[in-house]
Amino acid sequence: MVAPRVQGHLQMLGIFWCVFGVYRAASGIIAALILMGISTPGFFGGFGSPRGLPYMPFAPWMGGLATLIVVLTSIGALLSLVTGISLLMRKSWGRVLAIIVAILSLIKIPFGTALGIYTLWVLLPSASAIEYDAIADRS
């Protein structure tokens, strides 16, 4: 007898998506802080020079880029977290959402690519759709 593919991997897949969402949120916040530091004189405490760290260039336009990065990474992190939670709770729409988000995350090398491939391997085959529908929570 063949072990069910979806049931055996679904919990791990949901946990991976939640961890990936937290990772995306943290990396976005760090990137935005660095860009804000470049765009704001004295943002990093003003030590070393009047404009902040001596090796940091001053580029005021980076503040707008930081805002864009925060918005985009927040959306990506939220999508990843919702995907993970929907898989863990076995929501009927979770499989479709996971496939869409997996395809979108393939460009996030290396972790997004690996997670996207793993998600597509588990959930994309038509046999996986039948198995997921059988274990999905319809409430």
Give the per-residue pLDDT at 48: 43
Q: Which residue range forms the structural domain that includes residue 115? A: 5-45+56-135
| Residue 20 counted as domain residue | yes
- Interval 72-98 mean pLDDT: 96
Q: Per DSSP, what are the bridge partners of residue 91?
A: 137
Q: Per DSSP, what are the bridge partners of residue 137?
A: 91
Could you check whether the bond before residue 110 is cis, i.e. omega within 30 degrees of 0?
A: yes
Give the per-residue pLDDT at 56: 54
| Residue 78 counted as domain residue | yes
**With 50 as the cut, is the pLDDT of residue 1 above it?**
no
Write the DSSP string, the chain: -PPPHHHHHHHHHHHHHHHHHHHHHHHHHHHHHHHHHHHSTTTT-S-SBTTBSTTS---TTHHHHHHHHHHHHHHHHHHHHHHHHHHHTTBTTHHHHHHHHHHHHTTSTTHHHHHHHHHHHHHSSHHHHHHHHHH-B--
| Residue 27 counted as domain residue | yes
| Residue 51 counted as domain residue | no
| Residue 50 counted as domain residue | no
Total of domains in the chain? 1
Confidence of residue 88 (pLDDT cuts 50, 70, 90): very high
The residue count of the chain comes to 139
Give CA–CA dist 104/20, Å, rounded: 13
| Residue 74 counted as domain residue | yes
